[in-house]
Structure 1
């Protein structure tokens, strides 16, 4: 097969995986027009349409589905062969794509970026941080980082950060006006920030004491999808917030926020790095995992 045919097939597989020319272009570091040209050229050579395109969606045709099904094992073999060439290099190379929660991006990835990129100048790091739960294999990511309870069972998981505690906080101004809750039942009389996931479902505050475990759909006039907004609203005396303690330490130490119901805020699970069990670990991925868990093992 000619080399340009092979590259066009790789572009086709990326568009099919993302269901988007724009996202495929971002993954491949190409322009959207270059991706469109590659797919159109491939379709012209095959004499069939591979995608049904509208202004809002991109979907595989039956011919496209058949080609992708037959193509994936072959492309996997090519990628594996290319990755094995790293064994002959002095240092790892390639692109590492990570999908993480926002908390994980702050706690794990952010502090490592400079050290990782300085140590491995031939690696490109592509990080997407959001709180929606995605299939990292389907979306073309090499690694995911999430709280332990959100890691799929068929993945290999590596601890990266110990247990965290979510805490109930409010400003001194808020507590002076509305009082400080002492028991989960008291939250029914308070204005609590509601955290909405990207898919629309609302997070329930997870409180517990001893053998008692509660998941509360708290009342509140403010719903947000970002913990920074929740923190800002709590600092402004508008709401009670339920957030990871590590995000709030400076505000608590400075007296801008105060804890409430500490005895109902037990530690939660820790953060885990995870990757597909069946996939050979790339040198870039191995280097990141080794570096990320170094502080845990020192």
Structure 2
């Protein structure tokens, strides 16, 4: 075949067949679905054979498309490895690293890892997006995500960092003055609690554990917030009991604006993990970032 298809077109075809979706493949490749569709029509005309079956709701490979992609995938993988070896010889990663994280996780990264990473690798840039809701990092075009261990998607490689995390029940001394402090989680039903609305829109049921006994409480209260910093400030202002991460509460505890309650019902949990797909080629910039995470105390 003298008029050989372009490598980019073949890579796009493999992405479409892998995802069974123009939209998801377009997100991965950083192009629009309409551009991708045009590329495929051009490829089919060039090769003289239909490669994809399209409907308004789905896309699937024809027999010719399936055969072509099955032969292409190992070739593309070898190409990625070859390019990675060349990139490694350059010694300094370059390009952009896109990470999706919750706001507290992003703040932790910004305190140490991100500045050190950019100083060590001046040819890299970091695009750090903060969202409260969980997102599909592959569909969103991210290289990696950061979440608590209990919220990690399946089939991901995860790297723990930042140490354990505790959620603390806290209140101001002024709020507790003249009130009986809660001794067990069910006692919260007699208090004004600062309720938590999750990004999904649901109200969070506070979770506690002691000696293997787990309890959840639908904490009552007149105030509902969706940001740990606001919850902590509201508790410090005497508006009730909040249930927030220890890193958020600690500065207020240190100054005496907040005290903890139900300490023995608030154990540490594994904490934060950076995660990324294990089935895809890992860019050198992401590898360098992971190595730096592991260096951090």
TM-score, structure 1 length as denominator? 0.75
Q: Distance in 2 between matches of 1:192 and 1:75?
A: 55
RMSD of aligned alpha carbons: 3.7
Q: Contact 1:198–1:225 (CA<8 Å) still a contact in 2?
A: yes
Q: 2:36 matched to 1:16? A: no
Q: Decide whether the 8 Å contact of 1:169 with 1:258 is kept in 2.
A: yes
**Which has the higher mean CA deviation after the structures are superposed, 106-115 or 36-45?**
36-45
Q: Which residue of 2 aligns with 1:232?
A: 233
1:162 aligns with 2:163: yes
Aligned 8 A contact 1:8 1:38 in 2: no
Partner of 1:130: 131
Alpha-carbon separation, structure 1, partners of 2:22 and 2:283: 22
State the Cα distance separating 1:180 from its structure 2 match.
2.2
Q: For 1:293, what is the secondary structure of its paired residue?
A: helix
Provide the C-alpha distance between the structure 2 equivalents of 1:87 and 1:273, rounded to a whole number of angstroms.
22
Deviation at 1:95, TM superposition (A): 1.8
**1:205 paired to 2:206:** yes
C-alpha distance after superposition, 1:107-154 (max 9, x if no partner) = 234422221112111112111222322222232222222222222342
Structure-2 change in CA distance of 1:219 and 1:98 (3 Å) = same
SS of the counterpart of 2:282? coil
1:144-167 alpha-carbon deviations (Å, 9 max, x no partner)? 222222223422222212221111
Question: What pairs with 1:143-162 in structure 2 (closer than 5 Å)?
Answer: 143-162=144-163
What is the aligned partner in structure 2 of residue 50 from structure 1?
A: none
The answer as to whether partners of 2:80 and 2:281 remain within 8 angstroms in 1 is no
Match of 1:181 in 2: 182
SS in 2 for 1:248: helix
CA positional deviation for 1:284: 0.6
CA offsets, 1:46-100, max 9 Å, x none?
A: 89xxxxxxxxxxx9765x7769997x96987876665554123130112212122
| 1:55 matched residue in structure 2 | none
User: Are 1:18 and 1:139, in contact at CA under 8 Å, matched by a contact in 2?
Assistant: no
Return the alpha-carbon distance in structure 1 between the equivalents of residues 246 and 102 of structure 2. 16
- Give TM-score, length-normalised by structure 2: 0.75
8 Å contact 2:23–2:33 — kept in the other structure? Answer: no
| Matching residue of 1:51 | none
Name 2:87's counterpart in structure 1: 86
Partners of 1:134 and 1:36 in 2: CA distance: 20
1:270 to partner: Cα distance: 2.2
Distance 2:281 2:8 in 1: 26
Q: Which stretches in structure 2 are left out of the alignment for 5+ residues?
A: 46-54
Please, which moves more after superposition, 153-162 or 227-236? Answer: 153-162
Question: What is the CA–CA distance in structure 2 between the aligned matches of 1:18 and 1:234, rounded to whole Å?
Answer: 46
Return the alpha-carbon distance in structure 2 between the equivalents of residues 223 and 172 of structure 1.
Answer: 21
- Structure 1: give runs of 5+ residues left out of the alignment: 29-33, 48-58
Q: Which structure: larger Rg?
A: 2
